[in-house]
Amino acid sequence: MEQEYITQLLQQNKYIEDVKIPNSIAPDFDREHEFSVRGVRYKIEWWTNICYLYIDEVIIPFGFMELSGTWPNRFKTNIQFMDRAPRGVFDLPEKVCIIPLEEWKSDAINATPPAHHQPRE
């Protein structure tokens, strides 16, 4: 995973705040990205073949990350960290960490389903 990919991903979502990217003068020597989500501070240490996500004293190794809404939680968008990049439809990576970003609005969660989803009487 390229360092530029991490920088672009962290800068493209309004719920990822206070993003600090590596020094552009010497990017090969500055490997740390820092950011905040929902009041929690995170740090990513980038290497060509593996990265590390730091959350206080917890260290989570990962090989790929993406913004997605596919994790089954109450959030519209998450940052998903995986052990590696996807290799095809039937060879998906394992998720190692999920950081929720954008919460579904409570009225959307508790809304009455459309008529065609209503139980029959």
When pLDDT is cut at 50, 70 and 90, the band that residue 12 belongs to is very high
Question: Tokens at residue 64, please?
Answer: 């790929």
What's the pLDDT tens digit per position in 19-30? 998 876 665 577
What's the pLDDT tens digit per position in 74-111? 889 999 999 998 888 888 899 999 999 998 876 555 55
Please indicate, yes or no, if residue 19 is contained in any of the structural domains. yes
Please indicate, yes or no, if residue 22 is contained in any of the structural domains. yes
Of residues 35 and 72, which shows the higher confidence score?
35
- Using alpha carbons, list the distances in angstroms from residue 3 to 29, 59, 65, 87, 107: 12, 19, 11, 20, 38
Domains in the chain, number: 1
Arithmetic mean of pLDDT over the chain: 85
Task: Encode burial over 54-93: b for 16+ CB neighbours within 10 A, e otherwise.
Answer: eeeeeeeebbbbebeeeeeeebebbbbbbeeeeeeeeeeb
Range of the domain at 28: 3-108
- Using alpha carbons, list the distances in angstroms from residue 101 to 2, 23, 30, 87: 22, 26, 26, 26
Which of 29, 6, 25, 2 has the alpha carbon at shortest distance from 81?
6
Please indicate, yes or no, if residue 121 is contained in any of the structural domains. no
Please indicate, yes or no, if residue 67 is contained in any of the structural domains. yes
Q: How far apart are alpha carbons 15 and 54 in whole angstroms?
A: 19
Please indicate, yes or no, if residue 114 is contained in any of the structural domains. no
